Amino acid sequence: MTEILEIAAAICLVIGSIFTLVGAIGLLKFNDSMTRMHAPTKVGTVGVGMFLLASIFYSFTYSEGSLHQVLIMAFLFVTAPISANFLAKVNIHKRSCDTPPTPPRDDTWSTLNVPVADRDIEPPKSP
């Protein structure tokens, strides 16, 4: 059983290293702040999560095991997307990035293409 946990920990370390390396390369390679923010928050979070999963396997292999790493992973997976969202909103409100292009005009189910006749209809009144 310990050999399986050791192999699983080693695999998690390798996968975490690959994800972290890809996130670091993305941070250097992308040219504007919005895409630079995407690489470490998405890819780096998975990389650190894999490191913590390897730590969980290691702690169950060589000691009684502790679930402190699970709490750290939960904190990481909750706070990283929220902080990235706040940074993106600040970036958009400061207008330091280009506004995204408008979607193409076509006959889809999108609410962006509401026919003129439907714009004059009042919403139903609640009782």
pLDDT of residue 123: 61
24 has a pLDDT exceeding 70: yes
Listed by start position, the domains of the chain span: 2-96
Residue of 27, 22, 17 lying closest to 49 (CA atoms): 17
Q: Cα(17)–Cα(21) distance, rounded to whole angstroms?
A: 6
Cα separation, 14 vs 28, whole angstroms: 21
Largest CA distance in the chain: 70
**Tens digit of each residue's pLDDT (9 = 90 or more) over 83-115:** 888 888 887 777 655 666 665 665 555 555 555
pLDDT digits (tens, 9 = 90+) for 27-57: 888 877 777 787 778 787 888 889 999 998 8
Token couple for 70: 């699970």
* Rounded-to-integer distance, Cα 35 and Cα 76, Å: 20
| Secondary structure (H, E, C), the chain | CHHHHHHHHHHHHHHHHHHHHHHHHHHHHCCCHHHHHHHHHHHHHHHHHHHHHHHHHHHHHHCCCCCHHHHHHHHHHHHHHHHHHHHHHHHHHCCCCCCCCCCCCCCCCCHHHCCHHHHCCCCCCCC
Provide the percentage of residues in the chain whose pLDDT is more than 90. 15
